[in-house]
Copies of this chain bind each other. A is one copy, B any other.
Amino acid sequence: MSGSALAVALVHHPIVDKRGDQVVTAVTNLDLHDIARTARTYGVRRFYVITPAVEQLLLVERILQHWREGHGASYNPHRGEALALIETATTLEAAIAAWSRETGAEAMPILTGAKRSDGVSFEQCRQLRQQHPLLLVFGTGWGLAPEIFTRGWTVLEPIRGAGDYNHLPVRSAAAIILDRLHAEP
């Protein structure tokens, strides 16, 4: 993959639910596995799992320990290799700061969402990648809360399929976006 170092973030707060209310979503084992495996495949260097809920952070640590050191590590070492990308953070800002520290440059968050119409194109995003370490930000539940979009951060255009249906699982959206950013311009 060409360009600067790439990281992904999976946000569990602030998120909106089906009715548009702001919530903290639960971390799911499957999101961690699927996104970590895809990230590892595409050379992503870090996968930030973001939640302010202490018991959820402990759950993440338990899952990671199972696959990195526990029975899972010997049963399927490829999982541990992917899950090794995971770090936890309590806020998106903390993840941006951590990724900036790790890369030694100011990391640029790139927000994703199915309903945005104001985003940069995938082509533009590939170009931004030549200049900054990017942090691709994915929401859970019914998507990133509106307040996140008021902070002046860059937004990526939505994935458009063959019609009006745009209810991709975040796991699938992350896979498609990483594949598109991997493609040569």
Q: Which residues of A contact B (CB under 8 A)?
A: 1, 18, 30, 33-34, 37-38, 40-43, 76, 78, 81-82, 159, 161-163, 165-169, 171-176, 179-180, 182
Contacts and interface: CB of A to CB of B under 8 A. Distances in A.
6 contacts: A34-B172, A41-B166, A162-B182, A172-B172, A175-B175, A179-B179
Contacts of A167: 37, 40-41, 78, 82
Contact of A18 (B76, B82, B171): B76
Contacts of A176: 175-176, 179
A38 B172 contact: yes
A21 to B, nearest CB: 15
Nearest to A75: B18
Nearest to A177: B179
Contacts of A81: 165
Count copies of this chain in the complex.
2
A81 B38 CA distance: 27
A169 to B, nearest CB: 5
A140 to B, nearest CB: 14
B179 A41 contact: no
A42 to B, nearest CB: 5
A41 B78 contact: no
User: Nearest 4 A-B pairs (CB), nearest first?
Assistant: A43-B162, A41-B161, A172-B175, A1-B162
A1 B161 CA distance: 8
Contact of A182 (B30, B40, B161, B165): B161
A163 to B, nearest CB: 6
